[in-house]
């Protein structure tokens, strides 16, 4: 009964899930100055929560068969697409719900994070949310590009939000230049595909290319599209902008970046691969898998090593995010439903946990005015709840059962074994252990006062930039209309330092972790994810659903392979990872292992020097990456 | 026409990239991004072009013999121009702020995120 109601009403819910946050953003941008601060914040939170509810309805309603929505009712005629469609599947809608949850948490956090609440910030966050939802639901290639750019432009503006300091400005420049070039690359790919197939609809392009051999034009289009999306996904060698942007953006914005934005890039890579290129003739799958897995392994390992080398907490979390992106790419790059299902559960679980970590760092920054692990040595007293949040978040990122990431990890390992790549488990374990170990090391140093207070050498990481020190005390130039009441509040805030952290900043990270735990305890979550991933990976079924050439196949047609997630072996592996992460942290904090740390620092010096923060270098890497991708694409598709 | 247009696309994109990579001035860099961006517009227009085609206007004009060029690609190019304008405006605003805060426009001197 409820299911029928859901299906009937989805024709209104689908456009509303984008229209609601966009309308809310317009309201914020236009009328926020007439509203008291609390009303502004609460309206923004309500809009984000409403969007979350709408996308959750879509996730539930689209399980089993995709929901197709044609704007203005321009349906395809005789298999020819003339309109623009949304093709809603549980995977995309679930991604959109994650964006909604994280945006809500970030906005709740903003109640106290900024001394003066600003309507423009909320408007940008809501546009970001609307564009993310659009990105997840659309079935049109050009619409995908527009959403890509809309996410990017709002993200540039949000990165540069604290424009009173040089660090966010440089972060925004690096981010904007590299991602704009990525956007151009995507658009050229769109143009080439249109030139070859005469359509912009993913399903129609896929149908036109199906069974054909890839010619040079298709290979170039593939390289441009995939390369552009990989810039957003921060995959090596396109990742250099990521630490600069994450390290300098305000904390609530980091939550959106780490939990949603980069994952959207990977989502687009897989979506375009499945719907457009996977039907190409000539056994392209196995070679494509090698390319994606290679990129994923590089990203996972480099991110983990770089995370260990950081003492700047936000940059550490940025590299942790990057390492996890590599793991998702490994899961999705296996190009099997099981691997994709594992990656999806990891995206949800890790997204929540990473956001909790960023929010925890934000509490420390707000209360102690620093984000340097060494400078904060022993400074965690009085912030016990946040300390527990940080440690718990790091352990959950190491796949502590029964969190939802643990289920995802089990599926991923299972998928790798079935694909004949059992050693992939070791790569994933190394990355997870090293990156979680870095966070645990920082938590041990800050809250337990273990280890040394000073940095072992000038070369071991990034120092605090001055902008971070005073981010929560905006300078006069950056405080938009900071009236007497606002500055009075800022004074009170400063006087209130060293007292308890505000509840609206302490609770959201715990709430996020609780959601992930609840999902992990939900029975049958693996089966749901596998069914969703199987539907997502089926190009022919997608094409028939969109083009309406044949009745939508029933959900029963998808075979869900039995998984060995709940086996004792999987749980033991996860516990082993958690223990290993704790050991890494202990060794890193032990004074006796200074020699080992120096050797590691010397061994990875070249890698840290590559991350120069210079936009010219980053664009050079981007260009080289595009050329590499074209060569690999030619090898894989031709 | 066709070869020339694709040559222009490649030239504009590569020279724009070269400019971004070697730029020592943020304003110059932003303009180079715009140059690279214009390559995509030329590409889209060329893809939609038909030899001898007329403008894709079909109302309140006398019927034109022959084919029309592809209006879809022109719409895409127009959207791209809007996106490019937004990015350029944002980057220029950031560049102004950089000059205000750091007193320089040289991206190499702006290494605050690292040291």
Asked whether residue A68 is domain-assigned, the answer is: yes
Q: Which residue has the higher pLDDT, B64 or A359?
A: A359
Domain for residue A331, yes or no?
Answer: no
Q: What is the pTM of this model?
A: 0.91
Average pLDDT over residues A607-621: 89
- Percent of the residues in chain A that have a pLDDT greater than 70, as a whole number: 87
Question: Does the pLDDT at position A484 exceed 70?
Answer: no
Residues of B whose CB is below 8 A from A188:
39-40, 43
Residue B106's pLDDT band (cuts 50, 70, 90):
confident
ipTM computed for the complex: 0.94
Q: Is the model's pLDDT at B18 over the cut of 70?
A: yes
Contact A166, A239 (CB under 8 A): no
User: At A468, is the pLDDT very low, low, confident or very high (cuts 50, 70, 90)?
Assistant: very low
Q: The domain containing residue A77 runs over which residues?
A: 9-138
Query: Which residue has better confidence, A561 or A580?
Result: A580
CB–CB of A176 and B87 under 8 A? yes
| pLDDT band at residue B3 under the 50/70/90 scheme | confident
User: What does pLDDT average to over chain A?
Assistant: 85
Question: Does the structure show a pLDDT above 50 at A489?
Answer: no
- CB pair distance less than 8 Å for B83 and A166: no
Q: Does A201 touch chain B (CB under 8 A)?
A: no
**Partner residue facing B112 (CB), from A160, A465, A615:** A465
**In A224-340, where do the E strands start and end?**
none
Whether A15 is in a domain gets the answer: yes
Q: Please determine, for residue A488, whether its predicted confidence score (pLDDT) is greater than 50.
A: no
- What are the pLDDT digits (tens) for A198-232? 999 999 999 999 888 888 899 999 999 999 999 99
8 A C-beta contact, residue A300 and residue A424 = no
For residue A322, what pLDDT is reported?
Answer: 95
At A5 the pLDDT is 52
Which of B20, B83, B101 lies nearest to residue A616, judging by beta carbons? B20
Q: Pick left, alpha or beta for residue B50 (phi over 0 → left; psi -120 to 50 → alpha; otherwise beta).
A: beta
Tell me if A44 is assigned to some domain. yes
Inform me whether the pLDDT recorded for A418 exceeds 60: yes
Selected residue with higher pLDDT from A536 and A481: A536
CB within 8 Å: B44 and A623: no
Do residues A371 and A464 touch, judged by C-beta distance below 8 A? yes
Does A60 have pLDDT greater than 60? yes
pLDDT at A493 over 60: no
Higher per-residue confidence, A287 vs A265 = A265
Note if the bond before A237 is cis, omega within 30 degrees. yes
B64-95: pLDDT as tens digits: 777 888 889 999 999 999 999 999 999 999 99
pLDDT in tens, A86-97: 999 999 999 999
Please tell me the distance in Å from A219's CA to the nearest CA on chain B. Answer: 17
For the stretch A13-30, pLDDT in tens is 999 999 999 999 999 998
Tokens of A480: 């938009």
In a domain, A313, yes or no: no
Residues of B within 8 A of A613 (CB-CB) are 111, 113-114
**Domain-located, residue A556:** no
How high is the pLDDT of residue A377?
Answer: 87
Q: A502 pLDDT band (50/70/90 cuts)?
A: confident
Query: Which CB contacts under 8 angstroms, 24+ apart, belong to A608-614?
Result: A608/A306, A608/A309, A608/A459, A608/A461, A610/A240, A611/A240, A611/A243, A611/A306, A611/B114, A612/B111, A612/B114, A613/A170, A613/A174, A613/A244, A613/B111, A613/B113, A613/B114, A614/B107, A614/B108, A614/B111
The CA distance from A618 to A305, in Å, is: 19
Of residues A429 and A378, which shows the higher confidence score?
Answer: A429
Binned at pLDDT 50, 70 and 90, residue A571 comes out as confident
H helices, E strands: number in chain A: 26, 2
What is the reported pLDDT for A82? Answer: 86
Question: B46, B88, B114: best mutation site toward chain A, by most A Cβ within 10 Å?
Answer: B114
Contact of B82 with chain A, judged by CB distance below 8 Å, is answered with no
The count of structural domains within chain A is: 1
Domains identified in chain B and CATH numbers: 2-57+68-109 (1.10.287.3510)
Range from A116-125, A176-185, A524-533 carrying the lowest mean pLDDT: A116-125
- Is the residue at A391 inside a domain? no
All residues of chain B having their beta carbon less than 8 Å from the beta carbon of residue A146 are 79, 83
């Amino acid at each position: 009964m409820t299911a029928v109601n859901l299906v009937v009403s989805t024709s209104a819910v689908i456009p509303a899930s984008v229209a609601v946050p966009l309308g809310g953003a317009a309201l914020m941008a236009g009328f926020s100055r007439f509203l008291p601060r609390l009303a502004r914040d609460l309206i923004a939170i309500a809009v984000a929560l409403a969007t979350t509810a709408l996308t959750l309805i879509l996730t539930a309603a689209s399980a089993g068969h995709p929901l197709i929505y044609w704007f203005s009712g321009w349906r395809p005629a005789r298999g020819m697409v003339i309109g623009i469609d949304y093709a809603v599947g549980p995977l995309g809608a679930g991604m959109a719900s994650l964006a909604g949850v994280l945006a809500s948490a970030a906005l709740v956090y903003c109640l106290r994070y900024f001394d003066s609440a600003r309507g423009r910030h909320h408007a940008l966050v809501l546009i970001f949310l609307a564009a993310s939802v659009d990105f997840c639901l659309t079935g049109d290639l050009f619409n995908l590009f527009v959403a890509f750019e809309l996410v990017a432009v709002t993200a540039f503006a949000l990165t540069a939000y604290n424009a009173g300091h040089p660090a966010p400005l440089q972060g925004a420049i690096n981010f904007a230049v590299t991602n704009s070039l990525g956007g151009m690359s995507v658009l050229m790919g769109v143009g080439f595909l249109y030139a070859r197939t005469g359509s912009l609809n993913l399903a129609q392009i896929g149908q036109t290319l199906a069974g054909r051999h890839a010619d040079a034009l298709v290979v170039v289009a593939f390289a441009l599209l995939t390369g552009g999306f990989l810039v957003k996904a921060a995959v090596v060698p396109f990742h250099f902008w990521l630490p600069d942007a994450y390290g300098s953006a305000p904390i609530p914005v980091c939550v959106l970046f780490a939990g949603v934005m980069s994952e959207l890039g990977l989502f687009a890579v897989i979506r375009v691969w499945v719907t457009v290129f996977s039907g190409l003739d000539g056994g392209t799958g196995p070679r494509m898998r090698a390319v994606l897995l290679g990129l994923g392994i590089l990203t996972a390992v480099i991110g983990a090593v770089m995370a260990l080398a950081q003492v700047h907490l936000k940059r550490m979390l940025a590299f942790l995010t990057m390492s996890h992106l590599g793991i998702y790419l490994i899961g999705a790059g296996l190009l099997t439903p099981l691997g994709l299902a594992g990656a999806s559960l990891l995206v949800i679980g890790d997204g929540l946990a990473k956001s909790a970590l960023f929010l925890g760092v934000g509490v420390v920054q707000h209360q102690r005015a620093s984000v340097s692990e060494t400078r904060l040595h022993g400074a965690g007293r009085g912030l016990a709840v946040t300390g527990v949040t940080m440690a718990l978040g790091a352990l959950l990122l190491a796949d502590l059962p029964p969190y939802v990431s643990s289920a995802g990890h089990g599926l991923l390992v299972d998928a790798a074994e079935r694909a004949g790549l059992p050693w992939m488990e070791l790569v994933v374990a190394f990355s997870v252990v090293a990156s979680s170990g870095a966070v645990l090391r920082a938590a041990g140093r800050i809250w337990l006062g273990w280890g040394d207070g000073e940095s072992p050498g000038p070369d071991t990481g990034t120092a605090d930039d001055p902008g971070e020190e005073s981010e929560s005390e905006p300078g006069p130039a950056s405080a938009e209309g900071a009236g007497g009441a606002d500055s009075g509040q800022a004074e009170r805030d400063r006087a209130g330092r060293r007292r308890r952290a505000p509840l609206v900043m302490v609770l959201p990270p715990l709430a996020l972790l609780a959601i992930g735990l609840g999902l992990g305890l939900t029975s049958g979550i693996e089966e749901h994810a596998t069914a969703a991933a199987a539907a997502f990976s089926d190009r022919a079924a997608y094409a028939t659903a969109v083009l309406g050439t044949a009745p939508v196949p029933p959900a029963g047609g998808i075979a869900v392979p039995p998984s060995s997630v709940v086996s004792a072996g999987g749980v033991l592996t996860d516990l082993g990872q958690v223990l290993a992460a704790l050991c890494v942290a202990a060794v890193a904090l032990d004074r006796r292992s200074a020699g080992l740390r120096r050797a590691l620092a010397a061994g990875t010096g070249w890698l840290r020097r590559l991350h120069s923060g210079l936009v010219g270098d980053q664009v050079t890497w981007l260009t080289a990456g595009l050329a590499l991708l074209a060569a690999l694409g030619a090898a894989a598709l031709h | 026409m066709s070869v020339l247009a694709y040559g222009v696309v490649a030239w504009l994109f590569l020279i724009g990239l070269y400019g971004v990579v070697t730029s020592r001035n943020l304003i110059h860099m932003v303009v180079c991004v715009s140059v690279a961006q214009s390559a995509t517009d030329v590409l889209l227009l060329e893809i939609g072009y038909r030899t001898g085609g007329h403008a894709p206007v079909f109302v309140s004009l006398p019927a034109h013999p022959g084919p029309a060029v592809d209006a879809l690609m022109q719409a895409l190019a127009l959207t791209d121009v809007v996106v490019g304008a937004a990015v350029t405006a944002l980057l220029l605003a950031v560049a102004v702020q950089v000059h205000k805060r750091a007193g320089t426009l040289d991206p190499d001197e702006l290494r605050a995120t690292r040291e």
